[in-house]
Structure 1
Amino acid sequence: MGIGEATARALAKAGANLILLSRSEDKLTKLTDDLSKRYPQIKVIYRTADVGNYDEVDTAVDSSAKELGGIDILINNAGLALGAPNAFHNLKISDIQTMISTNVNGPMYVAHSVLNRSMLSRKAGTIINVTSVTGLEVPPFTGEAVYHSNKAAQEAFTNSLRNELSGTNIRVLALRPGVVAGHFHAQRIGHDQSQYDEFLEGYTPLIANDVAEAAVYMLSQPLNVSIKALDVVPSAQRSLTVFDRQWNERNGQWVKALHEGHF
């Protein structure tokens, strides 16, 4: 399960009406049907769009806002890393363009449409941009130049947009995940299972639900409180490049001692 689906499920459980936006209609249909059955008290709709295409995004946002009567929350979660572990000069230009379209243009396009189609008229809402800890520190892998710069751009966009929305009650927040288990990080290191296993050796990464719960926590604060930026990382990820690979062993010892009543 990816972060987007996990966040949708967490918000549905909390009672929020949902607009799901993605390019994959099959996945959207399946998730919409499941959430509607599990939580009949909420309304779940979906729209298909490529976030890198403003016309598609704006059409989807406009019709969704009209159907639900407005949009109170936007979670910009689209993210894409291609071509790793190739260094920048070996990347395909098409991959570079696709990453920029998804990671930089996408959040801007969706935010622009949501602001103009709903939030600005009411001067209220919350925008969470899911960035990454890689937006602040240079990643330790080759092939990260484009993704790293994209995430840094998301951070800059988040901070600037927050300032530009002074005079409204619109919060603009950044949620920065660290290592999350799943397809995304496998992709970033080239789908090499041995490399992926080595990368995760000695510690437990986050799962998508951890990030989703962090988003819910940020949204649950009273409107006069902004968690402007929240890093959610595995405890063993001391920084972007320093992993405490004895964490699992020590944590297991601590849990055992706790169960045996040594604390």
Structure 2
Amino acid sequence: MASYGTKDLTGKVCLITGASAGIGEAIAHRMVEAGAKVILIARRIAKLEEIKATLESTYPGAQVHCVKFDVKDLDQIGELRDGLPEEFRDIHILVNNAGVALGTPPAHENPIADVETMLRTNVSSVMAFVSTFAPGMVERNEGHIVNISSIAGHEAYPGGSVYCATKHAIDAYTTSMRHDLVGTNIRVTAISPGAVRTEFTLVRFGQDAEREDDFYKGFTPLNARDIADNVMYVTTRPQHVQVGDIVIYATKQSSAKSIAKNE
């Protein structure tokens, strides 16, 4: 039997939002390792430049372009696109990774400013990046859109009203987009992690390190490299294979709030 032929990412351009740490940074490493050219987008340009230096020293010949950009600045995404160097203009893989969860208040106590931040970061920016870069994919009839969603897009839980709503929106948007692009060679995927330990959780808990540490105590959560591995899996499947959604849990987790911890 012939060997199974996976997709070669050499020379493909991968744009990653929220690339300054955590899952985005881990995806950047795996993409560059696979020979892809990467565009790293985040607000913290100093962190991006550090990651770029590490990638270039780790993988000789790495091609990395950094852009300081706040994904909430929806009206400036066109300028971001137009400012990309020629060799990074044709986006083959778009990874919408930037996301935020702010606090765990009950629904009737959500600060409106936090609601707006989560909606713009988790939902509007994803739609804006797709509207900006997917037309080029359609024109070339090639591409892959990967939205980093969450188990919160599959179930809702106390203290997560706005975050769950944003990820349910992404789940619906991703599915609708797959229908819209069904006549093309463009693949559309959502990655929906359960408990992942990155700085994301620390932000959600208001930089309360003790609370964050207590949440993960007693079991082994997922880490950023686990999610990056899922992204690499879906993007390297043969062209005729489209993975719609991956739901990934830690081994001792069966739902958003069902986690078995050691005593």
Q: TM-score range by the shorter chain?
A: 0.7 to 0.9
1:130-209 to structure 2, matched below 5 A, reads 130-139=148-157, 141-142=158-159, 144-209=160-225
Compute the TM-score of the two structures, normalised by the length of structure 2: 0.86
Q: Which residue in 2 is equivalent to 1:85? A: 104
Q: Which has the higher helix share?
A: 1
The equivalent position to 2:253 in structure 1, one of 237, 243, 253, is 237
* Aligned match for 2:47, one of 22, 27, 33: 27
CA deviations 1:125-172 (Å, max 9, x no partner) are 000000000111113x42x11111000000011000111112210001
- The alpha-carbon deviation at position 51 of structure 1 amounts to 1.4
1:14 corresponds to which residue?
A: 34
Q: CA deviation at 1:115?
A: 1.1
Deviation, structure 1 residue 66: 3.2
User: Match for 1:201: what amino acid?
Assistant: K
Deviation of the 1:190 alpha carbon: 4.2
- C-alpha spacing 1:211/1:119, structure 2 compared with 1 (3 Å): same
So what's the TM-score if we normalise by structure 1? 0.86
Q: For residue 44 of structure 2, what is the amino acid of its counterpart?
A: S
1:37 aligned to which of 48, 53, 57: 57
Q: Is the 8 A contact 1:178 1:234 kept in 2?
A: yes
Q: Residue 35 of structure 1: CA displacement? A: 1.4
1:217 matched residue in structure 2? 233
The secondary structure found in structure 2 opposite 1:64 is: coil
Q: Deviations over 1:88-144 (max 9, x none)?
A: 33232111111111001011111111112x2121011000000000111113x42x1
Matched residues, percent identical?
A: 36
Aligned CA distance change for structure 1 residues 198 and 162 (closer, same or farther; 3 Å) = same
Displacement of 1:57 in angstroms is 1.7
The Cα of 1:27 is off from its aligned counterpart by 1.5
Listed as ranges, the gaps of 5+ residues in structure 1 are 250-263
Please give the alpha-carbon distance, in whole angstroms, between the structure 2 residues aligned to 1:53 and 1:24: 15
* Cα distance change, pair 41–103 in 1 and its aligned pair in 2 (3 A): same
CA contact (8 A) 1:162 1:171 kept: yes
Larger Rg: 1
Residues in 2 aligned to 1:121 and 1:9: alpha-carbon distance in whole angstroms: 28
Give the total of aligned pairs: 243
Question: Distance in 2 between the 1:21 and 1:55 partners?
Answer: 16
How far residue 63 of structure 1 moved from its aligned partner, in angstroms, is 3.0
Residues 65 and 162 of structure 1: CA distance in aligned 2, closer, same or farther (over 3 Å): farther
> Which of structure 1's runs of 4+ aligned residues deviate more than 6 A?
none
**Worse-matched range after superposition: 51-60 or 164-173:** 51-60
Q: After superposition, what is the alpha-carbon deviation per residue over 1:178-236, rounded to whole angstroms, capped at 9, x for unaligned?
A: 11113222333444444333322321001111111111111110010011100122011
